[in-house]
Structure 1
Amino acid sequence: VSDSTLARTLLIRVDPVPASVVPEESYRRWYDFTGATVIREFKARLPDLLAVDLPDDKRVSLYFESDDGPIRMSFDRRRVSASNPHQLLVNMVGFAAIMTVIAYFYLRNQLRPITRLARAAEAFGRGRHLDYRPAGAVEVRAAGNAFLDMRARIERQIEQRTLMLSGVSHDLRTPLTRLKLGLSMLDDEDREAMEQDVTDMERLIDEFLDFARGATEGKPEPVDPVALVGQIVEDMGRAERAVTLYLAEGEGTVALRKAGIRRAVENLINNAVRYGTRAEVSVLLTDKSLRIRVEDDGPGIPRERREEAVKPFVRLDTARNQNLGSGVGLGLSIATDIARAHGGMLRLGESERLGGLRAEIVIGR
């Protein structure tokens, strides 16, 4: 069999070429990774090989030196390398994409119960009761059941505390009423001081009741805080409190417990006018927060004692001269609890305008 017949049988094309056509070195495209292996294997197996040309994915050209000059042997590239060498990479990427989608839906289903638990816990921290049923993995259900037990215990303790203090205060009002009736029969000179003591006792009972109610009285509802604060200042002014509305900016409504916010602001105003000569109230409503600020010109509270001042029954004699009033140290504590129940906080600082205390309720929207 002649060489030409053998070449045709093997589907190899053999052509003589001029020396100028022979490449000086083997050629492949830079991204043809399998081409590098083809060139290396041909050079290792064919010592007389001059060059290998891989112009595309379809043909392979080998250049040899013969007695009659350079020759070129061309054949289909599929005979020496895979026609789709990138298939493994495609399979890997496809498999990874499928696994990513499966993992996404699996994790989303696993995280959904945790998200519901977090929402229920956050709502309870804000004083709202959100319906929650444990679901998901065993560990998540165990955490959910523990949360429900904890919530039930806290609600039961709050209810018992409220009932106890309400009952005590109710029982105390009866003898106080009798005292008032008895005092009315005394001489004016002796009666005035004693009636003031009875009035102070009634006010202390009211403060205990406010503290017992906590910050969970009522349900949150859309309230215009600017209008509410303006009404509170107007009411306090009619009650002969030296208070003015200094700043009122913003429009819109916020989900608030109206009675709780009123009680908190009134407590701050009462504290301000008790320890100073006047109070100024500011309310600022933005897209991100609600700020209600009460400032006075009193002695203020030192920075190192402000954290202690918001605790129940704390009386800072040296800072605020509590002897000026008969409070029991619940005003700031009640305001703090109400602010926290709305997901906010009570900040104490120094008033730059009046020089006294600045108490600011900050609630996020």
Structure 2
Amino acid sequence: MFFMWLKRYMPRGIYGRAALILLLPVVILQLVVTVIFAQRNYEGVTTQMTTTVLREVALVLDVVADAPSPDDIAPMVTERLAPLMMRATPVPLDEVPRQNSLSWYDYSGRVMIKLFRTRLSGFLSLDLSDPDLVYLFADTDRGPIKISFDRRRISAANPHQLFVYTFTFGFLMTLISFVYLRNQLRPIKRLARAAEAFGRGRHIPYTPAGAVEVRAAGSAFVDMRARIERHIEQRTLMLSGVSHDLRTPLTRMRLSLSMMDDEDTGPLLQDVDDMQRMLDEFLDFSKGTAEGEFEKLDPHVLLETAVAEAQRAGRNVTLLPAEGTGSGTVRLRKVAILRAVDNLISNAVRYGSKAEVSVMLTDKTMRIRVEDDGPGIPEARRHEAVRPFSRLDSARSQNQGGGGVGLGLAIATDIARAHGGVLRLGVSERLGGLRADIVIAR
């Protein structure tokens, strides 16, 4: 449970995690060294120096006890204990501080107070507010007295130097390590950008670099990308060649049938048209998502163009008002997106009586939605519906609108994935039929 809670606050990026891995041991080491130094060295030195001062204070108290009157305390201490460089003066009881006075960061002062309280009889309080002098208040037979002496006699000189050196050199070493670490992480980020671009259908130059393991991963990615591109190219050439070669005999058959006056040629012409339409779908599928380059387009204008073309083709389709609070352009392949939307509209009007198209744009995503009033697709078979050459006879009749070869949703899925997005199928709440959403991150 603790690790699950801690995971939410961990950095997401590789730079942040690498910096955490680098800084956390350094910070912990500095804290451990600081604590050990404060406890062993700082506290030990302060204890030794305070013990020495306690012996000198005992001598001062002996002189105070021998003084005939309170007015003789200061001259006698100065005369008899001049080498100690301490001053002792009587003070009224109401001028004695009730509490010890020291700064919040004065660690040695806390050690001194503890030692004076436990080892000095008659100790009242200690005033450490002056950085140069220590004022000790003690109770004697002559009344309260104030003893002052140099703070350097009871505290180590320049105690902060170790802390300054520790944090300064720790910061410098962390900075140097981060520079080297950044050079090691740069090839990984370049590999991630190349892989992300390839997943979105873009090819950016990439050369393996960095450590041996990173070079190996980069070389494997380059080989994999080359194999996939060759496979796509071979598939495109094969389907394009077959489809193109079949167009010529189909054209001759259509011309021959159109020149015949026999009434039985109508069904044959319909079969030829169906074959021509299937070939067009094969060509669209073979072209994939490689047509055109990415460019910044306004999704609202693009959808208006797609719907206008569908309406000119005689399809019952309506463009709904724009949704979302986003604005601006999105990097898209214009021809590919138009083809995907056209396929979704064709499926919608083929299996239903009308279709509605809408676009929602936010700061992070773009969603193109096509809905129809047809029979829809069962949830259990939606994954199968987006596969190439898949035809769901029980859900959406092939006999409506001339049928197809099961490539409409597959083409839309490939185009969405090539843009780094996804095609989602659901149930239309407005029309009751199929709802197809193309969601692309901006």
TM over 0.5: yes
Aligned length, in residue pairs: 362
Alpha-carbon contact 2:369-2:436 (below 8 Å) kept: yes
SS in 1 for 2:360: strand
Q: Deviations over 1:25-58 (max 9, x none)?
A: 88342633212323444567x6656456343332
- Equivalent of 2:291, from 217, 224, 244? 217
Q: Deviations over 1:257-283 (max 9, x none)?
A: 111011111111111111112222223
Alpha-carbon contact 1:223-1:255 (below 8 Å) kept: yes
Alpha-carbon contact 1:49-1:62 (below 8 Å) kept: no
2:190 is the counterpart of 1:113: no
In the TM superposition, 1:181-192 aligns within 5 A as 181-192=255-266
2:106 is the counterpart of 1:29: no
CA change 1:342–1:41 in 2 (3 A) is: same
- Equivalent of 2:405, from 328, 333, 358? 328
In the TM superposition, 1:80-91 aligns within 5 A as 80-91=154-165
State the alpha-carbon separation in 1 of the partners of residues 137 and 434 from structure 2: 95
Shift in Å, 1:87: 3.6
State the alpha-carbon separation in 2 of the partners of residues 54 and 24 from structure 1: 8
Residue identity in the other structure for 1:20 = L
In structure 1, what is the equivalent of residue 126 of structure 2?
53
SS in 1 for 2:430: coil
Q: Deviations over 1:308-335 (max 9, x none)?
A: 2111111111111123233111100101
Residue identity in the other structure for 2:424 = R
Moved more, 50-59 or 148-157: 50-59
In structure 1, what is the equivalent of residue 434 of structure 2?
357
In structure 1, what is the equivalent of residue 87 of structure 2?
13
Alpha-carbon contact 2:77-2:87 (below 8 Å) kept: no
CA change 1:200–1:60 in 2 (3 A) is: same
State the alpha-carbon separation in 2 of the partners of residues 64 and 80 from structure 1: 17
State the alpha-carbon separation in 2 of the partners of residues 199 and 306 from structure 1: 29
In the TM superposition, 1:114-133 aligns within 5 A as 114-133=188-207
Alpha-carbon contact 1:34-1:85 (below 8 Å) kept: no
- Equivalent of 2:231, from 157, 161, 168? 157
- Equivalent of 2:370, from 285, 289, 294? 294
State the alpha-carbon separation in 2 of the partners of residues 346 and 286 from structure 1: 18
State the alpha-carbon separation in 1 of the partners of residues 232 and 322 from structure 2: 35
Moved more, 185-194 or 314-323: 185-194
In the TM superposition, 1:159-178 aligns within 5 A as 159-178=233-252
Residue identity in the other structure for 2:301 = A
Higher strand fraction (1 or 2)? 1
In structure 2, what is the equivalent of residue 270 of structure 1?
346
CA change 1:26–1:224 in 2 (3 A) is: closer
In structure 1, what is the equivalent of residue 334 of structure 2?
258
- Equivalent of 1:308, from 380, 384, 394? 384
Superposition RMSD in Å: 2.9
Moved more, 167-176 or 4-13: 4-13
State the alpha-carbon separation in 2 of the partners of residues 247 and 64 from structure 1: 87
- Normalised by the length of structure 1, the TM-score is 0.87
SS in 1 for 2:394: helix
Residue identity in the other structure for 1:349 = G
Higher helix fraction (1 or 2)? 2
CA change 1:4–1:348 in 2 (3 A) is: closer
SS in 1 for 2:321: strand
For structure 2, the residue ranges without an aligned partner over 5 or more in a row are 1-75
- Normalised by the length of structure 2, the TM-score is 0.73
State the alpha-carbon separation in 1 of the partners of residues 112 and 361 from structure 2: 73
- Equivalent of 2:317, from 230, 243, 247? 243
